[in-house]
Structure formats: structure tokens, C-alpha cells
């Protein structure tokens, strides 16, 4: 049963601190509490009340996501206001936590924050939100914002030692790359415990005494996991995609008789659409069918996607006699352009995957980008020549 903290106006929250004689009192009727630095009086709809602790007032957040939360997540996945989709760093509470309740650490990217709190129904826990500049845990750990110094700083600023008696911080496993556990314990006195990969396993993890099963440690990158990442890969590239497609459409006006508007009207949309299809093959088909595409490098997997697409388009052209390609030389040109485009777009997905490394990506870029550029350049030259054939 999903149990959320009620608004303090209707029912006070009065758990007893186990390490001192001070009560945690509901903020109802009390105004002399000092708020922790960085915290403010929250008015967000997902804050259901306030809980007063020896270190100050802490917002209590709900564990049910409403339409606005889900719409915000959808917009973020489509790159709409994504970098501003964040919550204030600091200390939060779910349920009715006391001094012995667990402390869960997360990023201030609201989609990440919402994913965590939505899995905590029925639990009493503290949530310590780090300032990751609106970036998710895994990416922030790689960039250093979900890092040792930020964690130590946040523990100090919210005066966490005065809120909990236990000295354990439960961090998401994917944040381990940015955290030096021994320094955290040395400098702020809290021991780091790595929780499961998925927030949905947190309840079982806590019930097992903070012991993770092998399955909880396993990183899955399922079809759905890959599919939801596609929009955020495509949207930032739309302006470049549109510009290149428009340039190809305008260049299609070249021909034996000079530059003709009729050719643009007839061939322009087709040429632009072929380029867009090549990009989508790399940015959509590659992630969806990632495990089944040959090769380890994402650039190679993207190239395979482009080649499959080119074979399908060519087969349709031959069977339907739709004259998708203007002539044989144009067909050859697109056999180079589409796989090169798809390879580049597929390689870009390394930033959204869960098992690439920085050194590996750099090595792949050094090899793949010159080849992609060479194939695309030769393809464009052949395509221009084909306009005059």
C-alpha cells in the first residue's frame, strides 16, 4: 500500500531522535526552527508538507507522480527544457523518517529524482539531492558533478549528522565512478553503501539489510531502455538535419541544362528525405536493434543499419519502379552517403549507452570519423556528378 506523508496541517509528524533527547516536531505551530543552508520554503505541488528536525525544516515529498510530473519527464526526454528540469539540491523526506531511517543519495535532475521517489511508496527515508547541474546520476558521475566533494559539501550544508544517527549513505551504483568512498568517510564521517542499479529494487535491498543480490547489480539495457533515449538523441540534431536536407534539395536543381526550379520541385524532397532516412537509421534503428547488429563499435553497428536501409530502399525502387534514385550513379552515391550518415548517428549513441568507456569512445572516433568523412565526401561528389548524367 502506498503510504505518503500527510500535510502537516492535518497530522503532525513526531518520530523520536534516537541519538539525542530532541524530538522531531511537525512544523505546524513552530516557527523558531532554523532551515538548513540551501533549503527554502517549498511550494512545489509534489511537496506534501514539512518535517522539522534538529537541523531545520525538511520538505516531505509525495511518492505518486501526477500528470504534470509525467508531462515534464516526456518533455525532458524530447529535449524540451531538459537542462532546466531540476530540483533544488538539499535534504528531502518521504513517509515519516526518523533518525534511524536510511539516507538515499541522488541527482537533482528531476526525472531522476521523480524515478527515485516514485519507487519509495510505503517507505520512510531521507533523500539527499546533490547539485549535478540537472544531469542524471550516471552522466554526472562521469562529468564529476555527482562527485566526492559535492557529496561531502551537501552532507555538511544540510547538517545531516544532526538528522540521522546512522552514518551510512546509500548511493546509486551508477554513481560509483564519481565517488571516492574512503574520502567521504574520512572527511564527513559517513560510510558509502552502493545500492542497486534500479530504484525499483530499493525496497528489497533495504529489507535485505542493504545487501544486493547479483541481479540487483546487473545493468540491463533493454529494448525499452534504448527506445526512450532516441528522442533526446534526435532533437538536438534537428536543426543540422534540416539544414543539410535543405542544401541537398537545393543542389538537386543542378543538371545538364543548368539550374532548374523544376528539378528542385521534382527531386528535392526525395534527396532530402533520403538523407533524413539515413540519419534516422543510425539514431533510431541502431539503438533499437543494438544487440543484434554485427560488431562491437557503435559506428560499425550504425553503418550496418545504413546498409540495411539502403538495401530496402533499393529493393523498393526496383520492385515498384518508383525512380527513387535518378540513375545508377546516384544509387552508388547514396550507397556511400547513407551508411556514412547512419554510422555517425549511431556512434553518437555511445553517450546514452551504459557500457561504453571514455577511452574506448575516443579510440573509435579516431578511426571512424575519418572513414565516415571519406565515404560521405566521395558520395556527395558522385551525387553531384550524377545530377549532370
Distance CA 118, CA 287 (A): 27
Task: Give the per-residue pLDDT at 1.
Answer: 30
325: exposed, middle or buried (Cβ count in 10 Å: 0-12, 13-18, 19+): buried
The more confident residue out of 82 and 210 is: 210
Mark whether 280 and 381 lie in a shared domain. Answer: yes
**How does pLDDT run across 44-67, given as a tens digit for each residue?**
889 999 999 999 999 999 999 999
Does residue 134 fall inside a structural domain? Answer: yes
pLDDT tens digits for range 183-235:
999 999 999 999 999 999 999 999 999 999 999 999 888 999 999 999 988 99
Are both 180 and 202 inside the same structural domain? yes
DSSP 282: I
Q: pLDDT of 195-209, one tens digit each?
A: 999 999 999 999 999
Q: Are residues 251 and 306 in the same domain?
A: yes
Adjacent-strand bridge partners of 103: 126
pLDDT given for residue 260 in this prediction: 85
Neighbour-count burial for 124-149, b at 16+ CB within 10 Å, e otherwise: bbbbbbbbbbbbbbbbbbbeebbbbe
pLDDT of residue 43: 63
In this prediction, residue 41 has a pLDDT band, given cuts at 50, 70 and 90, of low
Residue 93 lies in a domain: yes
Integer Cα distance of 118 and 99 in angstroms: 22
Phi, psi angle pair for 56, to nearest 5°: 125, 180
Residue 359 confidence (pLDDT): 82
Computed over every residue of the chain, the mean pLDDT equals 87
Return contacts of 43-49, CB within 8 angstroms, 24+ apart: 44/87, 46/114, 46/117, 48/4, 48/5, 48/6, 48/7, 49/5, 49/6, 49/7, 49/8, 49/9, 49/13
The 10s digit of each residue's pLDDT in 255-275 is 887 888 888 998 899 999 999
d(CA 363, CA 50): 50
d(CA 140, CA 131): 10
Q: Are residues 291 and 193 in the same domain?
A: no
- For residues 44, 111, 68 and 3, what is the CA-based torsion angle, rounded to 10 degrees? -70
Q: What is the pLDDT of residues 301-354, one digit of tens each?
A: 999 999 999 999 999 999 988 889 989 999 999 999 999 999 999 998 887 787
Q: Which residues pair with 255 in a beta bridge?
A: 258
Residue 257 lies in domain: 224-387
So what's the pLDDT on residue 124?
97
- Residue 54's pLDDT is what? 92
Residue 25 has pLDDT above 70, yes or no: no
Number of domains in the chain: 2
Are 64 and 209 part of one and the same domain?
yes
What are the tens digits of pLDDT across the range 362-389?
A: 899 999 999 999 999 999 999 999 998 8
Task: Answer yes or no: do 111 and 62 share one domain.
Answer: yes
Amino acid at each position: 500500500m502506498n503510504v505518503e506523508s500527510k500535510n502537516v496541517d492535518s497530522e503532525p509528524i513526531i518520530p523520536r531522535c534516537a541519538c539525542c533527547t530532541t524530538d522531531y516536531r511537525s512544523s505546524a505551530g513552530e516557527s523558531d526552527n532554523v532551515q538548513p543552508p540551501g533549503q527554502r520554503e517549498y511550494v512545489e505541488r509534489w511537496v506534501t508538507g514539512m518535517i522539522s528536525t534538529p537541523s531545520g525544516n525538511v520538505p516531505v515529498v509525495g511518492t505518486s507522480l501526477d500528470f504534470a510530473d509525467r508531462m515534464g519527464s516526456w518533455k525532458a526526454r524530447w529535449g524540451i527544457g531538459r537542462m532546466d528540469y531540476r530540483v533544488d539540491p538539499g535534504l528531502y523526506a518521504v513517509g515519516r523518517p526518523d533518525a534511524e531511517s536510511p539516507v538515499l543519495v541522488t541527482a537533482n535532475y528531476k526525472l531522476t529524482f521523480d524515478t527515485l521517489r516514485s519507487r519509495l511508496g510505503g517507505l520512510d527515508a531521507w533523500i539527499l539531492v546533490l547539485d549535478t547541474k540537472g544531469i542524471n546520476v550516471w552522466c554526472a558521475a562521469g562529468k564529476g558533478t555527482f562527485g566526492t566533494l559535492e557529496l561531502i559539501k551537501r552532507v555538511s550544508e544540510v547538517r545531516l549528522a544532526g538528522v540521522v544517527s546512522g552514518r551510512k549513505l546509500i548511493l546509486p551504483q551508477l554513481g560509483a565512478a564519481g565517488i571516492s568512498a574512503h574520502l567521504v568517510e574520512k572527511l564527513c564521517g559517513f560510510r558509502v553503501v552502493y545500492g542497486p542499479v534500479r530504484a525499483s529494487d530499493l525496497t528489497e535491498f533495504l529489507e535485505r539489510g542493504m545487501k544486493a543480490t547479483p541481479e540487483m547489480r546487473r545493468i540491463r539495457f533493454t529494448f525499452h531502455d534504448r527506445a526512450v533515449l532516441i528522442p533526446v538523441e534526435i532533437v538536438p540534431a534537428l536543426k543540422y538535419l534540416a539544414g543539410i536536407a535543405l542544401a541537398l534539395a537545393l543542389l538537386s536543381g543542378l543538371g545538364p541544362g543548368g539550374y532548374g526550379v523544376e528539378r528542385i520541385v521534382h527531386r528535392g524532397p526525395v534527396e532530402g528525405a533520403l538523407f533524413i532516412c539515413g540519419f534516422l537509421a543510425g539514431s533510431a534503428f541502431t539503438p533499437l536493434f543494438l544487440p543484434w547488429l554485427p560488431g562491437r563499435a557503435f559506428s560499425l553497428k550504425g553503418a550496418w543499419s545504413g546498409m540495411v536501409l539502403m538495401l530496402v530502399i533499393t529493393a523498393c525502387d526496383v520492385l515498384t519502379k518508383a525512380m527513387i534514385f535518378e540513375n545508377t550513379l546516384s544509387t552508388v552515391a547514396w550507397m556511400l552517403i547513407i551508411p556514412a550518415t547512419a554510422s555517425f548517428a549511431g556512434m553518437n549513441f555511445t553517450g546514452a549507452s551504459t557500457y561504453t568507456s571514455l577511452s574506448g569512445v575516443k579510440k573509435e572516433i579516431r578511426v571512424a570519423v575519418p572513414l565516415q568523412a571519406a565515404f560521405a565526401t566521395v558520395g556527395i561528389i558522385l551525387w553531384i556528378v550524377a545530377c549532370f548524367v
